[in-house]
Amino acid sequence: MIKNPKYIKSFLPGTVVDVKTKTGDIVKKGDVLIIFDAMKMHNRIIATIDGKVKSVNVKQNDTVPKDFVMIELE
């Protein structure tokens, strides 16, 4: 399976604690996009590439399954 760096996915089922970006934002590799709670630990979900946020598919307190596309970059 080929991993697309434009799709920021959940690595485990969990809950979105905070969304740090919005559609249209320009992000750099390493920027924190989401704070995600999985297995009782807060995890920082970061941008894997430079780009523009095409869509944000989650909001605070959303519960998501594993491999859910939370953010898509252009």
pLDDT tier at 37 (50, 70, 90 boundaries)? very high
Instruction: Mark residue 40 as left, alpha or beta (left: phi above 0; alpha: psi -120 to 50; beta: remaining).
Output: left
CATH of 7-73, one of 1.10.3720.10, 2.60.120.200, 3.30.365.10, 2.40.50.100: 2.40.50.100
Q: What pTM value is reported for the model?
A: 0.89
Q: What is the mean pLDDT of residues 54-73?
A: 97
Dihedral of CA 33/35/38/39: which sign?
positive
pLDDT tier at 1 (50, 70, 90 boundaries)? low
> How does 39-58 read in b/e, with b if 16+ C-beta sit within 10 Å?
eeeebebebbeebebeebeb
